[in-house]
């Protein structure tokens, strides 16, 4: 038998495989793209892609096209917008192997230079290393430890400030949430009011969140604009990027160094940074490993601050606009707690209506209405349509949670939709908690912390206060029309006026007496 025979057979099999692959790929590309608008030469749909309220635009466009998902292109970059929960499950969950990367938006990765930012990293070993650092410390099994700190901040920072200055709720919520995140991450003491590091971090990450939004800067749609010099008309985004990067560098280094100093003095609380420094102290690759820790620590504030603050402010706005809901939730809380104590985490399971309120808060104004974009790492076919490789995939969470077929009258704030009867949750209805934190391998790893903080904050506020309209100069209630931020990865209420009044029958001052004069947490 000739020695060339098996070689020939192997070559023949390889050739057949190559021909099949070419034919298969050609056949894929002959399939139609998903429904979308007419594309112009070169620009594609760049001029049709909204810079504000994209989630509302794409929901309406999907209805107009009669499609659950939409295809767009901007200067050759393909986009897929998913308006349907089941489609998101099919693609981002069931086919997560090639729907789990992140697009490198020009403003954040190229212009600002955030190529190692945990939330925005492409899928791969670097991202897995960062996620491991996060999960090892903030494992769901460690939630009781973190809940103890959450309770501490709500009682020592938020509630006394709402009692003392009831018209400054946004500032109090931000200081409480930001302080909690900095404490859990860096173990540093935080002022219960007007903490300067919290304020600086808030400003920096608000600017970053705006820059991350796909529609905020045109350079995210037309990448070639990144080559413009900073002085060129229309290149002001480069000055913005330079300022954000300087602030981000400061936030990466200064709190970390403060934690090291506190560890040397023996005055540090247990936290993510201190635990990792101790664990890695003798590691041969200490510098590389601790660089990952510093990046993760910085990213935690970006991920947690605006989303948690936004959820709490959405809750406050919803209660302000829905007094019947507020009263019913308060009545349920009173029936479990009585008049003489504050809520704890163990009470939440006995509050079915209150739990429905939390779900409705998440549904009514989902904190990430257009999701954090995914990126395909291979081409795909779904429902007879061709989806290209390197396609940016956006989950329109707003559209999913405002689907009239699932949630009738979706603009109405109605916790009753999640209740079958007085004591049972409606488990047949799509749970917003399963949607708002994303899909697949890129689901938010801190969702358990976010839900926990929202629940204990909302229960504590309802226990002690009535959320009421502020009064104008003539003593008349100011009517608030709910409005939300137009262009960002996150959606939170625009500034609104309200006040917090101690509830009748509640000795609020006595219940808060041990927390009233605390300066640091």
Of 29-33, 80-84, 454-458, 474-478, which range is least confident? 29-33
Q: Report pLDDT digits (tens) over 387-396.
A: 999 999 999 9
Residue pair 352/379 in contact by the 8 Å Cβ criterion: no
The verdict on domain 17-515 having CATH code 3.40.50.880 is no
Domain boundaries along the sequence of the chain: 17-515
Q: How confident is the model at residue 66 (pLDDT cuts 50, 70, 90)?
A: very high
498 marked ligand binding residue:
no
Distance CA 500, CA 465 (A): 6
Helices (H) and strands (E) in the chain, counts: 16, 10
Distance CA 49, CA 328 (A): 42
pLDDT of residue 12: 54
Average pLDDT over residues 494-517: 96
**Pairing state of beta strands 380-382 and 385-387?**
antiparallel
The most confident of 13-27, 89-103, 104-118, by mean pLDDT: 89-103
The most confident of 19-23, 106-110, 317-321, by mean pLDDT: 317-321
Q: Which of 461, 450, 457, 521 is nearest to 143 (CA)?
A: 450
Residue 436 tokens read as: 């708002």
Q: Is the pTM of this model over 0.85?
A: yes
Q: Report pLDDT digits (tens) over 142-187.
A: 999 999 999 999 999 999 999 999 999 999 999 999 999 999 999 9
Residue 123 has pLDDT above 50, yes or no: yes
Q: How far is CA 16 from CA 9, 19, 25, 284, 325, in A?
A: 11, 5, 14, 49, 66
Distance CA 198, CA 203 (A): 9
Average pLDDT over residues 52-71: 97
Q: How many residues does the chain have?
A: 521
């Amino acid at each position: 038998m000739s020695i060339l025979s098996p070689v020939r057979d192997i070559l023949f099999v390889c050739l057949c495989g190559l021909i099949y692959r070419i034919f298969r790929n050609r056949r894929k590309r002959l399939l139609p793209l998903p429904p979308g608008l007419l594309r112009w030469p070169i620009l594609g749909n760049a001029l049709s892609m909204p810079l504000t309220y994209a989630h509302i635009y794409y929901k309406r466009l999907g209805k107009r096209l009669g499609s659950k998902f939409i295809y767009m292109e901007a200067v050759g970059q393909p986009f897929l917008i998913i308006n349907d929960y089941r489609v998101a499950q099919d693609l981002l969950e069931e086919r997560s192997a090639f729907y789990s990367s992140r697009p490198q938006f020009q403003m954040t990765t190229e212009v600002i230079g955030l190529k190692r930012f945990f939330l925005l990293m492409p899928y791969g070993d670097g991202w897995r290393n960062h996620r491991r650092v996060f999960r090892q410390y903030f494992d769901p099994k460690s939630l009781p430890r973190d809940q103890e700190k959450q309770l501490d901040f709500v009682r020592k920072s938020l509630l006394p400030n709402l009692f003392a200055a009831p018209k400054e709720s946004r500032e109090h919520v931000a200081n409480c949430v930001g302080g909690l995140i900095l404490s859990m991450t860096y173990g540093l003491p935080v002022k219960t009011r007007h903490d300067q590091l919290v304020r600086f971090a808030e400003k920096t990450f608000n600017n970053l969140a705006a820059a991350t939004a796909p529609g905020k800067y045109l350079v995210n749609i037309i990448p070639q604009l990144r080559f413009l010099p900073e002085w060129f008309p229309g290149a002001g985004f480069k000055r913005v990027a330079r300022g954000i990067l300087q602030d981000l560098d400061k936030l990466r280094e200064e709190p970390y160094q403060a934690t090291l100093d506190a560890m040397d003095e023996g005055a540090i609380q247990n936290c993510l940074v201190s635990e990792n420094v101790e664990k890695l102290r003798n590691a041969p690759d200490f510098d590389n490993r601790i660089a990952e820790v510093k990046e993760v620590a910085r990213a935690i504030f970006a991920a947690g601050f605006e989303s948690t603050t936004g959820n709490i402010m959405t809750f406050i706005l919803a209660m302000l606009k829905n007094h019947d809901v507020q009263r019913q939730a308060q009545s349920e809380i009173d029936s479990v707690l009585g008049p003489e104590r504050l809520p704890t985490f163990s009470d939440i399971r006995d509050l079915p209506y209150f739990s429905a309120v939390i779900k409705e808060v998440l549904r009514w104004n989902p904190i990430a209405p257009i999701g954090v974009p995914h990126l395909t790492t291979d081409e795909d076919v779904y429902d007879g349509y061709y989806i290209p490789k390197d396609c940016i995939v956006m989950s329109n969470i707003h559209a999913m949670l405002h689907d009239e077929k699932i949630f009738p009258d979706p603009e109405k704030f109605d916790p009753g939709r999640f209740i079958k009867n007085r004591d049972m949750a409606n488990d047949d209805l799509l749970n917003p908690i399963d949607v708002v934190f994303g899909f697949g391998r890129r689901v938010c790893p801190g969702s358990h912390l976010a839900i926990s903080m929202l629940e204990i904050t909302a229960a504590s506020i309802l226990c002690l206060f009535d959320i009421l309209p502020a009064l104008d100069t003539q003593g008349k209630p100011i009517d608030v029309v709910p409005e939300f931020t137009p262009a960002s990865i996150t959606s939170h209420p625009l500034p609104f006026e309200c006040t917090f009044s101690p509830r009748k029958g509640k000795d609020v001052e006595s219940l808060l007496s041990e927390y009233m004069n605390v300066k640091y947490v």
